Structure 1
Amino acid sequence: MKIASALLCRASEKIYEKLVVRGVPASHDVCAIFDEASPERTVPCALFPLGEPRADERTLVAVSPIVDVPKASYAIAEYDEHGRLVQSVRRTIDYEAAKWTSRLNYKLRPEKCAEIRLFDEGRLSTLSEIVIRQIIPDQDMMIVRGSLRLPSAGEHDVRLACLDEHLMPAGAAFLNMGEHDDSSRASRHAGLLVHDFSVRLPISSGRLFFFGWDERHPGSYVCHELWPERKEELLNEMRHRYMSAGLDPYYAEWLRLKRPNLLEQELQRRCELPGAPSFSLVVPLFQTPANLFTEMVDSVRAQTYARWELVLVNASPENADLCSLVERACSDDERIRCVTLEKNLGISGNTNAGIERATGDFVAFLDHDDFIEPDTLFEYAQAVSEHPDTDLLYCDEDILDLDGVLKAPFFKPDLDVDLLRTKNYITHLLTIRRSLLAELEPSTPEFDGAQDHHMTLQAVERARRVTHVPRVLYHWRVCEGSSCGNPESKLYAVKAGILAVSEHLTRCGISARVEEGDYPFTYRVLYDVPQPEPLVSVVIPSCDHADVLRACIDSLVDKTTYQNYEIVVVENNSREQATFDYYESLPEATGGRARVVRWDGEGGFNYSKLINFGVRHARGEYLLLLNNDTVLITPEWMERFVGICAREEVGAAGALLYYPDDVIQHAGVVVTGAANHLFADMPRGNDGYFNLVTCQRQLSAVTAACMMVRRDAFERVGGFEEALAVSYNDVDFCLKLRDAGYVVVYTPEVRMYHHESLSRGHDEKLEEQARHIGEMALLRERWPMHYAKGDPYFSPNVRQEWPLSSWYHF
């Protein structure tokens, strides 16, 4: 193969070169390739035929981008009629020389230059394409996700490469995120193979060139040029999705619009609520700055609800300025009373002194440097009027920073005991019925720093009803020495918090170990496994893809530290001989733990039927439902799951799942709209809104890709709904558990990789999409009251549709 240049010109940041190729039989293909042996300085190239080929020669137009290097090259290959490589030739581009050659050609042969100039406009050099779908920021790196689309004919050997703006190899190895056919993009008879990929690259990368090709199909070579502008656009799109309410710079404006106006405040003052309760606000004072004291007192006096008293506990009797302010406040309003201590008794002792003087139906705890909204007590009183059995109230809160800006709102869930054990999320404005408060054990000095947590846990254990008012009514001030602004200032509180949670578990009769969590003032609760170890049945539906199932089971056998378990593989109409060969090897490979049961049902894939069938053949007291495209990360996974599910109130537990590129696939499910995975597509290490990714907590649902459930709970609710064949069956199952009085727990202590839909594929065809829509409608039809009331573990202040983000409801 001999290649000669007939003409060269530059236009639109590209080089166009007319090539004459001789010595290639007419039956052979000539195409551009990516030379893996020497990728450096390889410039992308697209080849287009110009005119009809002759017997002894053909004319091509090569189009390549102008890059910021002195010289670059590309490779052209010849393939025979059987697709075998005959030879390849590298051609070098000298960009400085090309500039002058182009200028000369435009002067001497302008018509010929016009013939090939912009020759690639509207033309396809290949049936393949690369699409960059998503770029996920991860500190100083970025995770680039995309797809290589190829004609889906025969066997494939997909290859990918990436070069930076200097045409040097960039990033780590490409990860295969799955392959599937996409006939809907072409026709029902001539579809595309979609190879999804992910690659990690420096976020500082400039211009990038992505190359993709199929070794088995000559001519499939394709390149995608990612410009910095497009990169930033995709990065910002993901940053926007990550911008939780805690980070949104427009939060203060939203809060201003949510506040009641003057007319509404006046109506609140005139409103007569049935069974109107009275409130005592207890505020321990210790060396309180004058301006903060005044703002706190003013916020209480501005309340639109009048039935309150403010109990000031002054533990700084030597502070004349503070004593004078307290005395003036008491004289100005008879509802303000003072308790002066002879000395500082610590936060617990000071608080107890205030509780003793409280006379209201409810006692609220307000910090001396914080303040509340004017309608706080009205909202609380209204909640009590609507639910007279309320014994504890709390609200949403935010932070006032050192610059006087309100930010970082914490939109809290309704009562969640598991989250409360992990962190004191209730915090402010904690308000407890005084009759219940009298029954609680007073906080002693060993609980200082966690006295509110200790009190809240006790109250929740006994309260008839805990009411969450989903309004931002409390403002927590950041100041020097506060635990909010400087967690290290109260390290002693961590030990007190561990003690508070440990004693709570003891009172509840729960055997567990409490450790310090990943973040300040968070805790890790590790529930003990019943003894002797109960049998766990791991139920894995599977169809072909023996390599996928092998990776899953090998990870279980190699890493699992729990001893008493079995593996039940539910065979679902496999066809490949490799699958059945693997089944034969399973008993020996797993030490007799694994066995295969064959489901011969008709009607296509039905996950619910497969699970129900597998459970009928399982022997375990605990059922661990698992997708075959998962790989274990945490060896103690069964211990963590069994410890949680052994609690009588727990119906199911779910895990933290990652995609193979260390991006979150599942950290629980919020059941809004239909259902959405929380924190999906966030990189590992980004722990989300108020670090909730790392918090063990209750949720409305978890995915059955990795879910443990006790057999008695599974059978009580009738297993999985078989009318939901593919989608939402796990959500429906979890809602059935909750309807029966169980709770569903998400735990980050169990982590796995999940190649989502790697074995089953994606819903691309019209009939599959129609089935998905029908199952969504059936889910909502089955649970109308849940969707009408809203998910109790997700704030009504935040948008309910995907993507879940910082866009608030107005």
Structure 2
Amino acid sequence: MKRYVNLARRVIGLVRRDGAYPLLKKSVAVFRREGLTGLRRRAGNGAIAVRDYAEWIELYDRLDEDALSLMKSDIAAMSAPPRISVVMPTYNADPLWLAEAIDSVRNQIYPHWELCIADDASTSPKVRPLLERYMQEDARIRVVFREKNGHISAASNSALDLVTSDWVGLLDHDDILAQHALYCVAKEIVRRPDARLIYSDEDKIDVNGRRHDPYFKCDMNIDLFYSHNMISHFGVYQKRLLDEIGGFRVGLEGSQDYDLALRCLERIGPDSIVHVPRVLYHWRVHPSSTAASGDAKPYAVVAGERALNEHFAQRGIDGSVEGLAYGYRARYRLPERRPLVSLIIPTRNGVNLLKQCIDSIRTRTTYAPYEIIVVDNGSDEKATLDYLHGLLSADNIRVIRDDRPFNYSALNNSAIASANGEIVGLINNDIEVISDTWLDEMVSLAIQPGVGAVGAKLLYPDGKIQHAGVVAGMGGVAGHAHRLFPRDSFGYFSRNALISSFSAVTAACLIVRKAIYEQVGGLNDIELAVAFNDVDFCLRVREAGYRNVWTPYAELYHHESATRGSEDSPEKKARFAREVAYMHERWGDSLEQDPAYSPNLALDRTDFSLAWPPRVESLSHRPAPHENKELA
């Protein structure tokens, strides 16, 4: 009862402070993104409060005099400042919002811009006079008035025809650019001459000008990009690149920006795409905008599905993409001749867990062919030894006896050396299969060009998330994203429900090509006998040029380390401290600069909370506060 009284008090306090409507709006956004269980979880810890982000903005995202002076000095020092064209199609825009959008360009700190507007035959009598007035006031504003309505793709192309710059940024007619948006982009253009596409973080802004719901993105993440348009706002493209692909495609309205970015990717590859980890774009929320609800324009999902499938066909990717309410699911086809998978299961005693693991694999796995290699690390219980002896009669199960002192890395390395499979899987003996197609899903990803290790969605027995990808630096060395979230939660911008790349995945259930495993030298059995060997392995796989992928469509229970015990003895504590020290020595500052995670998000929590302070360069010379903030 006390729990519910405290919850009621928190809700009443939030209503009094922020008002019922903002609280309701925030709750609806959480519900859409994370479902009912996510709403309950957030209501329970008070995270529905909008104060956190507003306070974060005040501390880390306000342009004071120092910041403005620094930016102006940087601009003046540019020997060849790039000129950026902002392209804006418009049709019957609300005059107030249209004016705010135009003013957000005129108010840019960076002066080397032009604004190219295409009015798509608006019928509102207020639009043309407004646009003509702006043209007269500022020669950098250019407008074309289309005679016939052609919708957003055609109008965007008309605006592109006005462009005289080398770079093009996309702005919707009711959205707002941050005052330093073009400065930050220009700085990256100068710093990265190889860049051909630049994108930033974004948030939403309501009709009252209140910012909320920031999307702090990771660096270019091809698997996440195939799951939703993570580039979106603020997207800035090299004009020559847009000319090469022919601009926007008519017929892809609703997802024309997604299609544009996908076709650019076909030309340039991910290495030419640069992420600016700052909120440079404020997406207007109103009843008919996709920022308010994906349901406002359901045709956008269909258009996105078509764009992705045509991209797959163009790239020769053997698969298909299905539109979902919260993103897209890519399905990769397995070859007619499926590769043999060797599943390695180290164990010591604990017959009940081992039997549960092997039985679940044998009865619930649709994939074939596979073999199971059980590595018996000195079992001495009769029940376990009897069970292992009974496994010898199975056609696709081998038991290897390895009596060395427990060294998880060495046990797996030795077993994989004798594995027959083209694909190998590291499986803990406390894993239990849930989804029948878990191995189909993981292998279909593992055989894709450029993919290294593949991880699964692991659940505690109570249904909460145990593993949904590993973030480097979280918790000091590495931590599990969305840990303890409900199974059906969408998570942060649906990352708990979408395929995406992570820096690492756990070896409790990890699938990888044997050739890659051997290429990087397997698990480190010298410095990392027990802890962090999987993280180190995945970082070396990434270092070798592969990407590690996590999928929510392979679900298994993980009765976490039930047979190994806790790190409670002096010897175990000392060993763990050595492994932590090794990880920091080997990987250094890169542990706090995970490209699959935002520097604006916390490393001391697993729920994608805001970082206090963010791990980005301060906008000004003012020292950033370093205190951690508690949730409301």
Give TM-score, length-normalised by structure 2. Answer: 0.87
**1:366 is the counterpart of 2:171:** yes
**Shift in Å, 1:764:** 1.5
Letter in 1 for 2:465: I
Taking a change above 3 Å as real, the CA distance of residues 446 and 237 of structure 1, as seen in their structure-2 partners, is closer
Higher mean C-alpha displacement, 260-269 vs 280-289 = 260-269
Checking the alignment, whether the CA contact within 8 Å between 2:482 and 2:606 is kept in structure 1 is no
Structure index of larger Rg: 1
Hey, what's the Cα distance between the residues in 2 that align with 1:738 and 1:754?
25
Structure 2 residue matching 1:447: 3-state secondary structure = coil
Letter in 1 for 2:432: V
**1:710 is the counterpart of 2:513:** yes
Deviations 1:392-418 (A, max 9, x none): 111111111244321110000000010
Q: Which runs of 5+ in 1 are unaligned?
A: 1-67, 69-134, 141-202, 204-233
> Could you say which residue in structure 1 is the equivalent of 2:591?
787
Deviations 1:148-174 (A, max 9, x none): xxxxxxxxxxxxxxxxxxxxxxxxxxx
Deviations 1:305-358 (A, max 9, x none): 111000111013433210000000111100000011112211111111111221
Structure 1 residue matching 2:251: 3-state secondary structure = helix
Taking a change above 3 Å as real, the CA distance of residues 366 and 236 of structure 1, as seen in their structure-2 partners, is closer
**Shift in Å, 1:803:** 4.9
> Could you say which residue in structure 2 is the equivalent of 1:355?
160
Matches within 5 A, 1:451-600: 451-463=256-268, 465-517=272-324, 519-520=325-326, 522-588=327-393, 591-600=394-403
> Could you say which residue in structure 2 is the equivalent of 1:637?
438
Q: 2:465 aligns with which of 634, 640, 664?
A: 664
Hey, what's the Cα distance between the residues in 2 that align with 1:575 and 1:680?
34
Hey, what's the Cα distance between the residues in 2 that align with 1:236 and 1:689?
12
**Shift in Å, 1:799:** 2.3
Higher mean C-alpha displacement, 487-496 vs 728-737 = 487-496
Q: 2:134 aligns with which of 312, 319, 329?
A: 329
Checking the alignment, whether the CA contact within 8 Å between 1:724 and 1:775 is kept in structure 2 is yes
Structure 2 residue matching 1:694: 3-state secondary structure = coil
RMSD: 2.2
Structure 1 residue matching 2:244: 3-state secondary structure = coil
Hey, what's the Cα distance between the residues in 1 that align with 2:588 and 2:532?
15
Letter in 1 for 2:510: M
Deviations 1:262-286 (A, max 9, x none): 3422442343324421111010001
> Could you say which residue in structure 2 is the equivalent of 1:229?
none
Matches within 5 A, 1:51-450: 239=45, 243=47, 248-257=50-59, 258-270=61-73, 271=75, 272-450=77-255
Hey, what's the Cα distance between the residues in 2 that align with 1:239 and 1:527?
39
> Could you say which residue in structure 2 is the equivalent of 1:29?
none
Taking a change above 3 Å as real, the CA distance of residues 237 and 585 of structure 1, as seen in their structure-2 partners, is farther
Hey, what's the Cα distance between the residues in 2 that align with 1:347 and 1:611?
55
> Could you say which residue in structure 1 is the equivalent of 2:406?
605
**1:628 is the counterpart of 2:425:** no
Structure 2 residue matching 1:305: 3-state secondary structure = coil
**Shift in Å, 1:237:** 11
Taking a change above 3 Å as real, the CA distance of residues 707 and 406 of structure 1, as seen in their structure-2 partners, is same
Higher mean C-alpha displacement, 330-339 vs 763-772 = 763-772
Hey, what's the Cα distance between the residues in 1 that align with 2:266 and 2:223?
12
Structure 2 residue matching 1:635: 3-state secondary structure = coil
Hey, what's the Cα distance between the residues in 2 that align with 1:783 and 1:266?
36
Q: Which has the higher contact order (CA 8 A, sep 6+)?
A: 2
Hey, what's the Cα distance between the residues in 2 that align with 1:305 and 1:596?
67
Taking a change above 3 Å as real, the CA distance of residues 491 and 674 of structure 1, as seen in their structure-2 partners, is same
Checking the alignment, whether the CA contact within 8 Å between 1:371 and 1:475 is kept in structure 2 is yes
Letter in 2 for 1:249: R
Checking the alignment, whether the CA contact within 8 Å between 1:542 and 1:569 is kept in structure 2 is yes
Checking the alignment, whether the CA contact within 8 Å between 2:460 and 2:558 is kept in structure 1 is yes
Letter in 2 for 1:734: C
Runs of 4+ in structure 1 off by over 3 angstroms are 234-238
Hey, what's the Cα distance between the residues in 2 that align with 1:318 and 1:698?
45
Matches within 5 A, 1:668-687: 668-672=469-473, 673-687=476-490
**Shift in Å, 1:441:** 4.1
Taking a change above 3 Å as real, the CA distance of residues 594 and 768 of structure 1, as seen in their structure-2 partners, is same
Checking the alignment, whether the CA contact within 8 Å between 2:489 and 2:497 is kept in structure 1 is no
Checking the alignment, whether the CA contact within 8 Å between 1:529 and 1:639 is kept in structure 2 is yes
Hey, what's the Cα distance between the residues in 2 that align with 1:236 and 1:575?
47
**Shift in Å, 1:769:** 1.6
Deviations 1:508-531 (A, max 9, x none): 2210121123x34x1100111123
Hey, what's the Cα distance between the residues in 1 that align with 2:143 and 2:440?
52
Higher mean C-alpha displacement, 505-514 vs 660-669 = 505-514
Hey, what's the Cα distance between the residues in 1 that align with 2:235 and 2:42?
38
Letter in 2 for 1:630: I
Letter in 1 for 2:103: D
Hey, what's the Cα distance between the residues in 2 that align with 1:290 and 1:578?
78
**Shift in Å, 1:563:** 1.6
Letter in 2 for 1:657: L
Give TM-score, length-normalised by structure 1. Answer: 0.68
**1:727 is the counterpart of 2:531:** yes
Letter in 2 for 1:309: E
Q: Which has the higher helix share?
A: 2
Hey, what's the Cα distance between the residues in 2 that align with 1:235 and 1:358?
48
Q: 2:547 aligns with which of 722, 743, 746?
A: 743
Q: 1:777 aligns with which of 554, 569, 581?
A: 581
Checking the alignment, whether the CA contact within 8 Å between 1:597 and 1:617 is kept in structure 2 is no
Question: Paired residues, what number?
Answer: 572
Checking the alignment, whether the CA contact within 8 Å between 1:392 and 1:460 is kept in structure 2 is no
Taking a change above 3 Å as real, the CA distance of residues 610 and 449 of structure 1, as seen in their structure-2 partners, is same
**1:653 is the counterpart of 2:454:** yes
**Shift in Å, 1:785:** 4.9
Hey, what's the Cα distance between the residues in 2 that align with 1:551 and 1:264?
60
Hey, what's the Cα distance between the residues in 2 that align with 1:429 and 1:516?
23
Hey, what's the Cα distance between the residues in 2 that align with 1:618 and 1:593?
12
Structure 2 residue matching 1:353: 3-state secondary structure = helix
Checking the alignment, whether the CA contact within 8 Å between 2:501 and 2:547 is kept in structure 1 is yes
Hey, what's the Cα distance between the residues in 1 that align with 2:427 and 2:186?
47
Hey, what's the Cα distance between the residues in 1 that align with 2:117 and 2:42?
48
Structure 2 residue matching 1:312: 3-state secondary structure = strand
Structure 2 residue matching 1:566: 3-state secondary structure = strand
Checking the alignment, whether the CA contact within 8 Å between 2:349 and 2:380 is kept in structure 1 is yes
Hey, what's the Cα distance between the residues in 1 that align with 2:101 and 2:55?
22
Checking the alignment, whether the CA contact within 8 Å between 1:527 and 1:644 is kept in structure 2 is yes
> Could you say which residue in structure 1 is the equivalent of 2:22?
none
Structure 2 residue matching 1:409: 3-state secondary structure = strand
**Shift in Å, 1:702:** 0.4
Deviations 1:368-424 (A, max 9, x none): 000011111000111111111111111111111244321110000000010000000
Taking a change above 3 Å as real, the CA distance of residues 489 and 799 of structure 1, as seen in their structure-2 partners, is closer
Hey, what's the Cα distance between the residues in 2 that align with 1:267 and 1:628?
57
